[in-house]
Structure 1
Amino acid sequence: MTEFFDREGDRAYTKVYKETTPDILTAFTQFDAAVFASEGREIPLKYRELIALAVGITTQCVYCIDAHANKAKAAGATETELAETAWVATAIRAGGGFAHGRLAFKLAEGHSH
């Protein structure tokens, strides 16, 4: 993916969180586990993983893309569902650019050269 991405090796850096902010790490881990619990949620896990994948694609987080693409597949997502998820994320990013372009026109209104 990138020269900075190392799925296995990068996990070693979690030790900084463990050593410096273990309470926050524990709270985050529990929160994440609750969000992605396999049971007890209204939205099925496959769809939550596809949502997470779309967000990861939108924010361009290689770690999220890696984790949630694999977890979505494990939860039963098809390649077509992954593709459609990527297209949804792409549309949202493009829509954001379009909308912020309009905001630029609004903010620049009344300013002359």
Structure 2
Amino acid sequence: MSDYFDRDADKTYTRVYKAQTPDILQKFSEFDAAVFQAEGREIPLKYRELIALAVGITTQCVYCIDAHSQNAVKAGATEGELAEAAWVATAIRAGGGYAHGRLAFKLSGASEPHAHG
């Protein structure tokens, strides 16, 4: 997906949202602004941006990674914090594979559940 990424040109396609669904775009923009407002939230902005970065890495959204890594740094995040956010995302993604692997064993019918104890 990142092969198609063009930070500047891709933003021009927002015109479709503006033309076709301006009411939804406005509500989404207001929602996003509320989530990432600098003050008045329990979780400081730097940590919300690091959370967003980890989610972006997990979902592999290059736009989220681009925006939230920069926003995290603007909010005071260090390279070490960016690295740890990336590792958190990696652990969650790998953990999901591990857990869903167990589900595959269950759904395949080839494995019997083991009694706890």
Give the shorter-chain TM-score range: over 0.9
Match of 2:41 in 1: 41
CA-to-partner distance for each residue in 1:29-51, whole Å, 9 max, x for gaps? Answer: 00000000000000000000000
TM-score (norm 1): 0.95
TM-score (norm 2): 0.92
Q: Secondary structure at the match of 2:87?
A: helix
Q: Tell me the distance in 1 between the aligned counterparts of 2:67 and 2:61.
A: 10
Match of 2:22 in 1: 22
CA-to-partner distance for each residue in 1:14-69, whole Å, 9 max, x for gaps? Answer: 00000000000000000000000000000000000000000000000000000000
Shift of 1:110: 4.8
The RMSD of aligned alpha carbons is 1.3
Q: Secondary structure at the match of 1:40?
A: coil
Match of 1:64 in 2: 64
Q: Tell me the distance in 2 between the aligned counterparts of 1:42 and 1:7.
A: 31
Q: Tell me the distance in 1 between the aligned counterparts of 2:110 and 2:70.
A: 50
Aligned residues: 111
Identity %: 75
Is there any run of 5+ residues in structure 2 with no aligned partner, and where?
A: 112-117
Q: Tell me the distance in 1 between the aligned counterparts of 2:3 and 2:90.
A: 24
Shift of 1:5: 0.4
Shift of 1:6: 0.4
Q: Secondary structure at the match of 1:37?
A: coil
